[in-house]
Amino acid sequence: MTGCLIIHGYTGSPYEVGPLAEYLREHTDWLIDVPTLPGHGSELSLENVSHKNWLEAAEHSLQQLKMKTDNVYLIGFSMGGMIAAYLASKYNVDKLVLLAASGKYLSIRQIMRDVKGVLSDGIKGKIKENNLYLHYKRKWGTVPLKANIEFLKLVRFTRRYLDKVKAPVMIAHGQQDMMVPYKTGYYLEKEMTSDQKEVVFFEKSRHLICLGEDNVTLNRLVYEFLTK
């Protein structure tokens, strides 16, 4: 049996990768696990969790999945991508998919574009139709500074393991990503020493790539990469 572990991003939940997880469930007989990292989920509780807690939780999920399956695929979104890369450097996994992985972060130029879009919809009375605003509204004011520091620690820690990843890897990124510059895809490709590396950019997608306009194409390409 094949197992597939999908890891969501910082301050996120399995919802962020939901469409991809459902697509893989519909088109395969794989055992698919999408755990919720400590302090994450529909209600954030990040005050007393560390980057080590996130790494340990994801590693435990991978260990459990490997016990039940013959081969394992790893998929990680944003911070989850860096966690997935770290786990791929430690364990024998068959393939790795990185979705908007946060090897670098904050595209100031794109942030300004998106802020203008939110303000424009606010002026037009369409703020409740702005998906970007709706997604991040619940997070504003609920993320403690300590948690942000732990996020930065995790990125710095996991970067050191990129050159130890040997599994075939697919790197996907949205060109409109305001959180993680799309050129991070080139950075990840350069750092990893895998013999097989694929980099795909999606013109219309922002950071939430699994929920974006290109998600139908993304789902198909990930499936094809994992099954070919």
pLDDT of the residue at 131: 57
Look at the alpha carbons of 158, 76, 195, 94 in this order and tell me if their dihedral is positive or negative: positive
pLDDT of the residue at 141: 54
Q: Which residues contact 9 (CB under 8 A, 6 or more apart)?
A: 16, 77, 78, 79, 80, 81, 100, 102
Q: Verify whether residue 78 is a known catalytic residue.
A: yes
Query: Which two tokens mark 54?
Result: 């996130």
Which residues of the chain, if any, have pLDDT below 70? 105-142
Domain extents in the chain: 2-106+143-227
pLDDT of the residue at 148: 86
Q: Verify whether residue 33 is a known catalytic residue.
A: no
pLDDT, tens digit (0-9, with 9 covering 90-100), for 37-71? 999 998 899 999 999 999 999 999 999 999 999 99
Catalytic residue among 33, 114, 177, 214: 177
Q: Verify whether residue 207 is a known catalytic residue.
A: yes
Name the residue among 181, 164, 193, 155 with its Cα closest to residue 76: 155
pLDDT of the residue at 107: 43
| Helix, coil or strand: residue 51 | helix
Catalytic residue among 61, 173, 207, 214: 207
What crossing angle do the helices spanning 51-68 and 145-159 adopt, rounded to 10°? 60
pTM over the 0.95 mark: no
Catalytic residue among 78, 89, 107, 205: 78
CATH topology (fold) of 2-106+143-227:
Rossmann fold (3.40.50)
